[in-house]
Amino acid sequence: MTKIESQLPKFGEVEMVGSYSYDLIGKADVDLRVYAKNKPDVGVIADFVAEYIKKDHVIKTSLVNYTKFSPLYSWPIAGGVWLGFKINIDGELVNIDIWFMRREDDPQDEFATKMPKDWYKNLTKQQRETIIYLKALSRAGELEREHMSTEICRAVVLGKVASVKDLNIWAETNNI
Protein backbone atom coordinates (compact mmCIF):
# COMPACT_ATOMS: atom_id res chain seq x y z
CA MET A 1 0.00 0.00 0.00
CA THR A 2 1.05 3.59 -0.17
CA LYS A 3 2.79 5.59 2.53
CA ILE A 4 -0.15 7.98 2.62
CA GLU A 5 -2.18 5.40 4.51
CA SER A 6 0.20 5.62 7.47
CA GLN A 7 -0.44 9.39 7.68
CA LEU A 8 -4.23 9.11 7.99
CA PRO A 9 -4.90 7.64 11.48
CA LYS A 10 -4.32 11.07 13.03
CA PHE A 11 -7.61 12.09 11.35
CA GLY A 12 -9.65 9.06 12.46
CA GLU A 13 -10.25 5.36 11.86
CA VAL A 14 -9.00 4.32 8.39
CA GLU A 15 -10.72 1.68 6.25
CA MET A 16 -9.94 0.58 2.71
CA VAL A 17 -13.12 0.30 0.65
CA GLY A 18 -14.09 0.06 -3.00
CA SER A 19 -12.78 -1.95 -5.91
CA TYR A 20 -9.25 -2.42 -4.57
CA SER A 21 -10.53 -3.97 -1.34
CA TYR A 22 -12.96 -6.21 -3.29
CA ASP A 23 -10.33 -7.31 -5.85
CA LEU A 24 -12.44 -5.78 -8.62
CA ILE A 25 -9.93 -3.26 -9.81
CA GLY A 26 -9.73 -2.52 -13.50
CA LYS A 27 -7.44 0.47 -13.11
CA ALA A 28 -5.10 1.57 -10.36
CA ASP A 29 -7.61 3.09 -7.96
CA VAL A 30 -7.60 2.99 -4.16
CA ASP A 31 -10.50 4.21 -2.03
CA LEU A 32 -10.07 5.00 1.65
CA ARG A 33 -12.51 6.19 4.28
CA VAL A 34 -11.33 8.08 7.34
CA TYR A 35 -14.03 8.05 9.99
CA ALA A 36 -13.93 10.70 12.71
CA LYS A 37 -16.31 11.52 15.55
CA ASN A 38 -16.95 15.05 14.25
CA LYS A 39 -17.31 16.62 10.82
CA PRO A 40 -13.86 16.96 9.29
CA ASP A 41 -11.93 20.19 9.58
CA VAL A 42 -11.16 21.18 5.99
CA GLY A 43 -8.37 23.52 7.13
CA VAL A 44 -6.47 20.71 8.84
CA ILE A 45 -6.91 18.48 5.77
CA ALA A 46 -5.75 21.31 3.49
CA ASP A 47 -2.59 21.62 5.62
CA PHE A 48 -2.01 17.87 5.16
CA VAL A 49 -2.43 18.27 1.36
CA ALA A 50 -0.03 21.23 1.30
CA GLU A 51 2.62 19.10 2.99
CA TYR A 52 1.99 15.90 0.99
CA ILE A 53 1.97 17.57 -2.45
CA LYS A 54 5.66 18.40 -2.02
CA LYS A 55 6.54 14.72 -2.42
CA ASP A 56 8.13 13.73 -5.73
CA HIS A 57 5.64 10.97 -6.56
CA VAL A 58 2.54 13.18 -6.18
CA ILE A 59 1.31 14.38 -9.58
CA LYS A 60 -2.09 15.90 -8.81
CA THR A 61 -4.38 16.64 -5.87
CA SER A 62 -8.02 17.65 -5.59
CA LEU A 63 -9.91 18.69 -2.49
CA VAL A 64 -13.67 19.21 -2.21
CA ASN A 65 -15.48 20.31 0.93
CA TYR A 66 -18.89 18.60 0.98
CA THR A 67 -19.62 19.67 4.57
CA LYS A 68 -21.16 22.92 3.29
CA PHE A 69 -23.11 21.74 0.22
CA SER A 70 -24.24 18.74 -1.79
CA PRO A 71 -23.64 18.41 -5.52
CA LEU A 72 -26.55 18.71 -7.92
CA TYR A 73 -26.43 15.11 -9.14
CA SER A 74 -28.20 12.21 -7.53
CA TRP A 75 -25.43 10.30 -5.74
CA PRO A 76 -25.77 10.75 -1.98
CA ILE A 77 -22.45 12.44 -1.30
CA ALA A 78 -21.21 12.16 2.24
CA GLY A 79 -21.19 15.25 4.40
CA GLY A 80 -17.44 15.23 4.52
CA VAL A 81 -14.29 16.18 2.67
CA TRP A 82 -13.05 14.34 -0.42
CA LEU A 83 -9.35 14.32 -1.19
CA GLY A 84 -8.02 12.89 -4.44
CA PHE A 85 -4.41 12.15 -5.27
CA LYS A 86 -2.82 10.96 -8.47
CA ILE A 87 0.56 9.49 -7.65
CA ASN A 88 3.31 7.67 -9.49
CA ILE A 89 4.26 4.31 -7.99
CA ASP A 90 7.10 2.69 -9.94
CA GLY A 91 5.92 4.24 -13.21
CA GLU A 92 2.23 3.36 -12.71
CA LEU A 93 -0.27 6.16 -12.15
CA VAL A 94 -2.51 5.40 -9.18
CA ASN A 95 -5.62 7.33 -8.13
CA ILE A 96 -6.24 7.53 -4.41
CA ASP A 97 -9.60 8.80 -3.20
CA ILE A 98 -9.92 9.58 0.50
CA TRP A 99 -13.17 10.52 2.21
CA PHE A 100 -12.94 12.20 5.61
CA MET A 101 -16.33 11.89 7.31
CA ARG A 102 -18.39 10.70 10.21
CA ARG A 103 -19.41 7.05 9.84
CA GLU A 104 -23.11 7.97 9.91
CA ASP A 105 -22.59 10.19 6.83
CA ASP A 106 -21.09 7.39 4.71
CA PRO A 107 -23.21 6.51 1.64
CA GLN A 108 -21.27 3.23 1.35
CA ASP A 109 -23.12 1.98 4.41
CA GLU A 110 -26.32 2.18 2.35
CA PHE A 111 -24.67 0.10 -0.40
CA ALA A 112 -23.50 -2.48 2.15
CA THR A 113 -26.96 -2.93 3.65
CA LYS A 114 -28.38 -3.80 0.21
CA MET A 115 -25.76 -6.45 -0.53
CA PRO A 116 -25.35 -9.94 0.93
CA LYS A 117 -22.68 -10.18 3.64
CA ASP A 118 -19.23 -10.79 2.13
CA TRP A 119 -20.75 -10.67 -1.38
CA TYR A 120 -17.38 -10.01 -3.01
CA LYS A 121 -15.92 -13.22 -1.55
CA ASN A 122 -18.55 -15.33 -3.29
CA LEU A 123 -18.28 -13.91 -6.82
CA THR A 124 -17.79 -16.33 -9.66
CA LYS A 125 -14.99 -15.71 -12.14
CA GLN A 126 -17.63 -14.68 -14.70
CA GLN A 127 -19.28 -12.19 -12.30
CA ARG A 128 -15.90 -10.68 -11.41
CA GLU A 129 -14.98 -10.28 -15.09
CA THR A 130 -18.42 -8.81 -15.89
CA ILE A 131 -18.10 -6.20 -13.14
CA ILE A 132 -14.62 -5.15 -14.26
CA TYR A 133 -15.72 -5.04 -17.93
CA LEU A 134 -18.87 -2.98 -17.26
CA LYS A 135 -16.94 -0.57 -15.03
CA ALA A 136 -14.39 -0.04 -17.80
CA LEU A 137 -17.15 0.63 -20.34
CA SER A 138 -18.82 3.07 -17.96
CA ARG A 139 -15.57 4.98 -17.36
CA ALA A 140 -14.96 5.14 -21.12
CA GLY A 141 -18.45 6.57 -21.72
CA GLU A 142 -19.51 3.57 -23.79
CA LEU A 143 -22.76 2.81 -21.92
CA GLU A 144 -26.12 4.56 -22.29
CA ARG A 145 -25.15 6.48 -19.17
CA GLU A 146 -22.37 6.42 -16.59
CA HIS A 147 -22.88 4.01 -13.70
CA MET A 148 -21.19 4.09 -10.31
CA SER A 149 -19.18 1.01 -9.41
CA THR A 150 -21.63 0.26 -6.60
CA GLU A 151 -24.53 0.23 -9.08
CA ILE A 152 -22.70 -2.20 -11.36
CA CYS A 153 -21.80 -4.51 -8.47
CA ARG A 154 -25.39 -4.48 -7.23
CA ALA A 155 -26.69 -5.17 -10.75
CA VAL A 156 -24.37 -8.15 -11.29
CA VAL A 157 -24.79 -9.66 -7.82
CA LEU A 158 -28.49 -9.01 -7.16
CA GLY A 159 -29.82 -8.58 -10.69
CA LYS A 160 -27.78 -11.38 -12.29
CA VAL A 161 -26.65 -8.90 -14.96
CA ALA A 162 -24.20 -10.50 -17.41
CA SER A 163 -24.11 -8.04 -20.33
CA VAL A 164 -24.51 -4.40 -21.32
CA LYS A 165 -28.07 -5.15 -22.47
CA ASP A 166 -28.87 -6.74 -19.09
CA LEU A 167 -27.42 -3.71 -17.30
CA ASN A 168 -29.54 -1.26 -19.31
CA ILE A 169 -32.70 -3.25 -18.58
CA TRP A 170 -31.82 -3.64 -14.89
CA ALA A 171 -31.01 0.06 -14.54
CA GLU A 172 -34.31 1.08 -16.10
CA THR A 173 -36.32 -1.43 -14.06
CA ASN A 174 -34.65 -0.38 -10.80
CA ASN A 175 -34.58 3.39 -11.48
CA ILE A 176 -30.82 3.80 -11.15
Give the residue, 162 or 143, on which the prediction is more confident. 162
Pick the more confident residue, 92 or 153: 153
pTM of the model: 0.71
Spatial distance between the Cα atoms of 13 and 15, rounded to a whole number of angstroms: 7
For residues 90 and 57, give the distance between their C-alpha atoms in angstroms, rounded to a whole number: 9
Dihedral pair phi/psi, residue 126, rounded to 5°: -65, -45
Residue range 35-80, pLDDT digits in tens:
988 888 888 898 988 888 888 888 888 888 877 665 554 455 557 8
Measured between alpha carbons, how far is residue 105 from residues 74, 99, 102, 133, 141 in Å? Answer: 16, 10, 5, 30, 29
| Contact status, residue 117 vs residue 52, Cβ threshold 8 Å | no
Domains and CATH numbers, the chain: 4-106 (3.30.460.10), 115-173 (no CATH)
